[in-house]
């Protein structure tokens, strides 16, 4: 007679993705959770000062004082099975709130929610978004295969089908899974969703890929660089607009590139503040190994039409069979990676774009070419400014941009920049393979 299997108490995890881009949280028995009952779990302010290396920044504004709550969003609960896992994954995206339930000033998810509310209140527009992720499997021991090749995809089988099945069962609508350009590199895309849901889905995607990889004894990594000379892993943030009636509002065939006037102003706002935004969307020291000219990852404040060197590009639209371009028309933000918090990264894009709309900025000129071949006066005329070339420079640029800093409570800026400075100290000064490896293990 076989021994009886031990009983297992299913758990539900209340999670938040912090300034370091790491999803943390607390778990309880799922039987004790009832949607709509206001259940919350304790949290600590100093947790937001945790670096990726699991040391709390010192100094930080919080010390050992203060108490917060993780308040779950019942509409953002995901329950599904992952092949090879002993139990289903049951997580609920949560806001960090004060003890009276008001949003905490450093909560990234609350920051995004307020930005989206302001966008809709002031413009009547809602934002659709999708996060396109690249990642690598570092230790599978596969034979070499050409980039984008069928054999590169099939040698990982059934990883791709298992990943698509897990995501679909979670309700996050996976679209495309491909073997990418780099060694043992893959890309996974999800269907567009309302912006808050899109950021939640980005968190879920990362954790699903990680768990499915662990179950196979593999190490996966979303780090922007796993080796100095290796390929970069980016996160491309796609966005488009819907008007108050739900109709597409990003496309206008009469405008350059097909970009509507309001979308053009939104893009102009992002470009105006882009050097400061990099501190949030490319927020690790090794992020800047990737943001180099001719790396297909952007290096200037550049608006392009189907140009993968641009920092913001108009994505191609399939017109086969007479498809309506307005429905699929979207713009892609490229200088981002998975060391960023999806909610924070999308939140600052919304804030910057809204500034452009408020200021009635003209749509930026479209550019295609090599900015390095232009004279400085030509680059200035086209609005082509070099992006920061280090995290330190990005943080300095952030602190010099009063508009961007003004989107946050001063203590949030202090918390974020203090954590990042501590991270740089812990990471060291040498951008080498050893540093890339440290980040590859974490992310």
Residue 36's pLDDT band, with cuts at 50, 70 and 90, is confident
pLDDT tens digit string along 362-400? 999 999 888 988 999 999 888 899 999 999 999 999 999
**Do residues 379 and 354 share a domain?**
yes
Mean pLDDT, residues 170-196 taken together: 96
Q: Among residues 80, 104, 128, which one ends one of the domains?
A: 104
Q: Among residues 68, 85, 104, which one ends one of the domains?
A: 104
Which residue did the predictor score with more confidence, 322 or 155? 155
**Do residues 156 and 278 share a domain?**
yes
Mean pLDDT, residues 69-82 taken together: 97
pLDDT at 128: 98
Q: Does residue 4 lie in a domain region?
A: no
Q: Does residue 2 lie in a domain region?
A: no
CATH number of the domain to which 26 belongs: 3.10.20.70
Query: What does the alpha-carbon distance between residue 197 and residue 256 come to, in Å, rounded to a whole number?
Result: 30
Distance from the Cα of residue 281 to its chain's centroid: 7
Q: Does residue 78 lie in a domain region?
A: yes
Range of the domain at 69: 11-104
**Do residues 119 and 57 share a domain?**
no
CATH number of the domain to which 340 belongs: 3.30.590.10
**Do residues 244 and 378 share a domain?**
yes
pLDDT at 4: 63
pLDDT at 306: 81
Residue 101 has pLDDT above 70, yes or no: yes
Q: Does residue 164 lie in a domain region?
A: yes
**Do residues 323 and 344 share a domain?**
yes
pLDDT at 6: 66
Residue 203's pLDDT band, with cuts at 50, 70 and 90, is very high
**Do residues 320 and 405 share a domain?**
yes
Q: Which residue has the tokens 């809709």?
A: 120
pLDDT tens digit string along 238-291? 999 999 999 999 999 999 999 999 999 999 999 999 999 999 999 999 999 999
**Do residues 165 and 248 share a domain?**
yes
Sheet holding 41-43, edge to edge: 23-29, 11-17, 89-97, 68-80, 41-43
Residue 5's pLDDT band, with cuts at 50, 70 and 90, is low
**Do residues 141 and 260 share a domain?**
yes
**Do residues 193 and 72 share a domain?**
no
Mean pLDDT, residues 72-76 taken together: 97
Structure tokens at 435: 């540093």
pLDDT at 295: 81
Q: Does residue 204 lie in a domain region?
A: yes
pLDDT at 3: 61
Residue 8's pLDDT band, with cuts at 50, 70 and 90, is confident
Q: What is the residue-wise DSSP string for 25-86?
A: EEEEEGGG--TTS---EEE-GGGGGB-TTS-B-SS-S-TT---EEEEEEEEEEEEE--TT-S
Query: What does the alpha-carbon distance between residue 130 and residue 330 come to, in Å, rounded to a whole number?
Result: 10
**Do residues 191 and 253 share a domain?**
yes
Residue 322 has pLDDT above 90, yes or no: no
Q: Does residue 1 lie in a domain region?
A: no
**Do residues 138 and 68 share a domain?**
no
Closest CA to 332 of 346, 320, 343: 346
Q: How many structural domains comprise the chain?
A: 2
Mean pLDDT, residues 213-217 taken together: 97
Q: Does residue 155 lie in a domain region?
A: yes
Mean pLDDT, residues 117-129 taken together: 98
Residue 181's pLDDT band, with cuts at 50, 70 and 90, is very high
Q: Among residues 76, 104, 132, which one ends one of the domains?
A: 104
Q: Does residue 17 lie in a domain region?
A: yes
Residue 318's pLDDT band, with cuts at 50, 70 and 90, is confident
Q: Taking all residues of the chain, what is their mean pLDDT, rounded to a whole number?
A: 95
**Do residues 121 and 27 share a domain?**
no
Residue 1 has pLDDT above 60, yes or no: no
Residue 90 has pLDDT above 90, yes or no: yes
pLDDT at 22: 98
């Amino acid at each position: 007679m076989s021994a009886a299997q031990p009983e297992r108490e299913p758990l539900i995890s209340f999670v938040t993705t912090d300034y370091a881009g790491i999803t943390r949280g607390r778990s309880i028995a799922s039987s004790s959770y009832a949607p709509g009952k206001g259940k919350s779990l304790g949290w600590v302010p100093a947790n937001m000062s945790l670096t990726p290396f699991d040391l709390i920044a010192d100094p930080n504004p919080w010390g050992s004082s203060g108490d917060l709550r993780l308040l779950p969003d019942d509409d953002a609960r995901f329950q599904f099975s992952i092949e090879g896992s002993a139990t289903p994954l049951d997580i609920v995206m949560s806001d960090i709130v004060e003890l009276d339930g008001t949003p905490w000033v450093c909560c990234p998810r609350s920051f995004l929610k307020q930005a989206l509310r302001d966008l809709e209140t002031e413009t009547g527009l809602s934002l659709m978004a999708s996060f396109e992720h690249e990642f690598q499997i570092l230790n599978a021991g596969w034979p070499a295969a050409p980039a984008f090749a069928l054999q590169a995809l099939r040698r990982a089988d059934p990883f791709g089908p298992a990943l698509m099945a897990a995501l679909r069962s979670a309700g996050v609508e996976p679209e495309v899974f491909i073997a990418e350009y780099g060694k043992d590199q893959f890309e996974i895309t999800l269907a567009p969703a309302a912006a808050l849901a899109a950021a939640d889905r980005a968190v879920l995607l990362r954790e699903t890929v990680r768990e499915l990889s662990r179950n196979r004894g593999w190490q996966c990594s979303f780090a922007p660089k796993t080796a100095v000379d290796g390929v970069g892993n980016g996160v491309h943030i796609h966005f488009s607009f819907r008007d108050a009636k739900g109709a597409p509002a990003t496309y206008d065939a009469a405008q350059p590139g097909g970009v509507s006037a309001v979308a053009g102003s939104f893009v102009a706002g992002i470009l105006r503040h882009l050097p400061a935004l990099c501190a949030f969307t490319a927020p690790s020291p090794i992020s800047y190994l990737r943001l180099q000219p001719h790396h297909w990852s952007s290096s200037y404040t550049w608006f392009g039409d189907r140009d993968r060197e641009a920092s913001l590009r108009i994505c191609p639209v399939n017109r086969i069979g007479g498809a309506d371009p307005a429905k699929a028309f979207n713009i892609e933000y490229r200088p981002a990676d998975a060391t960023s918090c999806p909610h924070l990264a999308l939140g600052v894009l919304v804030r910057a774009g809204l500034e452009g709309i408020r200021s009635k900025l003209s749509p930026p000129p479209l550019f295609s070419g090599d900015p390095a071949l232009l004279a400085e006066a030509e680059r200035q005329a086209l609005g082509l400014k070099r992006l920061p070339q280090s995290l330190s420079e990005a943080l300095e640029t952030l602190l010099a941009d009063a508009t961007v800093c003004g989107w946050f409570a001063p203590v949030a800026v202090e918390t974020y920049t203090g954590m990042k400075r501590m991270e740089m100290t812990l990471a060291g000064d040498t951008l080498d393979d050893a540093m890339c490896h440290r980040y590859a293990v974490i992310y």
